[in-house]
Structure 1
Amino acid sequence: MRKNQLGSSDLLVSEIGLGCMSLGTDKQAAMRLVEQALELGVNFFDTADLYDDGLNESIVGEAIRSRRQDVVLATKVGNRRVPGQEGWVWDPSKAYIKDSVKGSLQRLQTDYIDLYQLHGGTLDDPIDETIEAFEELKQEGLIRYYGISSIRPNVIREYAKRSNMVSVMSQYSILDRRPEEEVLPLLAEKGISLIARGPVAKGILTGNGRAKADKGYLDYGKDEAIHVREQLLELDLQERSLSQSAIRYALSPPAVAIAIPGASSFEQLRLNVEAGNAAPLSDLELEAIRRISRANRYEQHR
């Protein structure tokens, strides 16, 4: 599988990664899926302390333990559980980040994290303090690099200006082209990579995704989402499946280093990996897809 450099780091990541949130809580099945991903050439695994209240990190950590040197391991921080209180609260403070990394390291059964990501963020956060926490963790050898997971262009802009982050994880697909106007040009200019999550738009852009389009997607209503899907299926996309074409679309901008579709079965995983082995979309194919879809923009998320 092709590998790309992640931003200015020395991390080489497989074009197709595994978004581990979809692994589920069946430990043996989830571990087997991680092992199968490794066998298929996937080396980037993204989890978070938030997923299944830490269980996801534990499963991933155990599954990769014997092949840690072959893996680029990413996790996230910023959501804090308050004893006696339901849900999570947002906490991007230096104290919390530096304390939280210890739990992630323990669950992941490793002494370092390749990519530590802020799991959200707003302009009201103590951004300089947050950056300081990540920089100190780098100096201490507990993390190698850091990035943010965000769909807020104004927040991304601040971190791009103030920090040494190497990546931004953001939702990006044919049905969510919001990063194209504001985010991708900025990242390309700064030498920061985009990690594209949601490339198949909750399964709508897959072979059996017709029913999933019934709820619409972002600013696409049900009928629009179905119509776009049908038009994409009518395109001559060089024998690629719809999901492969969708993933290749997310990988097409130069700033995108990796796409991380989720997978809860080996068949889904296999199809995702095949997209990594498929030919990139041509300029004509990209133009055809853009004529069919909408260049939507960030509105509320600033």
Structure 2
Amino acid sequence: MALQVQIGKTELKVNPIGLGTNAVGGHNLFPILDEQAGRQLVQTGLANGINFLDTAFIYGPKHSEEIIGEVVKENGNRSDVVIATKAAHKMVGNEIVMDNSPAFLKESADEALQRLQTDYIDLFYIHFPDKDTPKYEAVGALQRLKEEGKIRAIGVSNFSIEQLREANIDGYVDVIQGEYNLLNRDAEIELFPYVMEHQISFIPYFPLASGVLTGKYDKNTNLAEKRGKFFQKELFEKNLEKVERIRKIANEKDIDIAHVVLAWYLTRDAIDVVIPGAKRADQVLNNLKTLDVQLTVDEIQEIDQIF
């Protein structure tokens, strides 16, 4: 049995290395996606001790949930797997709008249950805030789903500290997912103190900063082919220098830079679990090597100071 941790104040117990599945059936996010490889990486994760799968309606859309539902069913023991999914994206004609209304969230949860071929979702998130719905009303709708046994824990994603406070007026929020990595530590300022005070677990996305924190890029990388904020030239070159300083720690331990980075996140009191993504089964197995990493107090402080 792999090491397991409890997610915040929930009853969910998971391997601290989970699996982000936006590349499993997420054809709208990745132009060239091998669907069989997606199935294979989920199967590999489940067979090797990963029991926490993070998906969403918008990955596909819908298709990631469908694939995960099929693989988990084939795997045989639903109770061994902790499934998180998210909703808020609503198709209005050709447009996507965010909807946190209680009626839409209830409908979204019911549809996700069908796609996932299950009668409960372990962790259900509001994926993005909308402009109009009071956040405590949206979370109140999820609390009713929890009381009905359709979901086991309540999450919000991409919420500001103000939105989180409003959402958690009744103390119902269990998890917040947001961007956090060594190149963007803004969450430490206001979100971390709040979540620790309220026993809410913070789950970071973009933990490896689109690959910049893996050490696979260097100053010869063709930035014209790269998209996103982590690849703006001056910032990219400064960050590479920082990543090279972690390489020294990784080399001493004979592990990858990514393992050091992921292990460092798990030393943060606000974080119980990380969910690195993968496109291939070997990447899933590689992420699991993080569990063997022991960082010393000095190394934890050194990484903190580098970034």
TM-score by length of 2: 0.88
Asked if residue 15 in structure 1 is aligned to residue 24 in structure 2, the reply is no
1:159, distance to aligned residue in structure 2 (A): 2.5
Structure 2 CA distance for partners of 1:104 and 1:240, relative to 1, 3 Å: same
Q: Which residue of structure 1 aligns with residue 54 of structure 2?
A: 46
Distance in 1 (CA, whole Å) between partners of 2:139 and 2:222 is 39
Shift of 1:75: 0.2
- Runs of 4+ in structure 1 off by over 4 angstroms are 212-216
Shift of 1:162: 3.4
Q: Distance in 1 between matches of 2:231 and 2:162?
A: 20
TM-superposed deviation, 1:287: 1.4
- Distance in 2 (CA, whole Å) between partners of 1:271 and 1:117 is 27
- Kept in 2: contact 1:193–1:257 (CA 8 A): yes
Which residue type is aligned with residue 105 of structure 2?
I
Q: Deviations over 1:153-205 (max 9, x none)?
A: 22223333433121111222211211112111211111111112222111111
Deviation at 1:114, TM superposition (A): 0.5
Shift of 1:120: 1.5
| Unpaired stretches in structure 1, ≥5 consecutive residues | 294-302
Show CA shifts across 1:246-279 (max 9, x none): 1011111122110000000122111111112322
Q: Is contact 1:173–1:249 with CA below 8 Å preserved after alignment?
A: no
Moved more, 215-224 or 140-149: 215-224
1:98 equivalent in structure 2:
106
1:81 and 2:88 correspond: no
Q: Secondary structure at the match of 1:22?
A: coil
CA–CA distance in structure 2, aligned partners of residues 209 and 12 of structure 1:
35
Q: Following the alignment from structure 2 to structure 1, what is the Cα–Cα distance between the partners of residues 301 and 222?
A: 25
| Structure 1 CA distance for aligned equivalents of residues 239 and 229 of structure 2 | 6
CA distance in 1, matches of 2:229, 2:146: 42
The within-5 A match list for 1:227-242 is 227-235=241-249, 238-242=253-257
Alpha-carbon distance in 2 for matches of 1:40, 1:264: 16
SS at match of 2:242: helix
Corresponding residue pairs, total: 290
Q: Distance in 2 between matches of 1:2 and 1:153?
A: 31
| Superposition TM-score, scaled by structure 1 size | 0.89
Taking structure 1 as reference, are residues 5 and 291 closer, same or farther at Cα in structure 2, changes over 3 Å only?
same
- Distance between the aligned counterparts of 1:249 and 1:256, measured in 2? 10
Check 1:36–1:173 CA distance in 2 against 1; reply closer, same or farther (3 A cut): same
Q: Over the residues paired in the alignment, what is the CA RMSD in angstroms?
A: 2.1
1:217 aligns with one of 222, 230, 241: 230
Q: Cα deviation per residue 1:26-54 (whole Å; 9 max; x = unaligned)?
A: 44321111110011110000100111110
Shift of 1:124: 4.8
- Give CA-to-partner distance per residue, 1:116-152, whole Å, 9 cap, x none: 0010216753212202210111121111111111252
C-alpha separation between the residues in 2 aligned to 1:49 and 1:212? 33
- Alignment partners' CA distance in 2, 1:118 and 1:224: 35
Q: Which amino acid aligns with 2:6?
A: Q
Q: Could you tell me how far apart the structure 1 residues matched to 2:193 and 2:222 are?
A: 31
1:287 — aligned with what?
Answer: 301
Aligned equivalents of 2:246, 2:157: Cα separation in 1: 29
Residue 166 of structure 2 aligns with which residue? 158
Q: Which blocks of at least 5 consecutive residues in structure 2 are unaligned?
A: 28-33
Alignment of 1:64-143 (within 5 A): 64-65=72-73, 66-82=76-92, 84-86=93-95, 88-121=96-129, 124-143=132-151
- Percent identity, aligned pairs only, is 33
In the TM superposition, 1:52-67 aligns within 5 A as: 52-65=60-73, 66-67=76-77
Given that 2:138 and 2:167 are in contact with CA atoms closer than 8 Å, whether structure 1 keeps it comes out as no
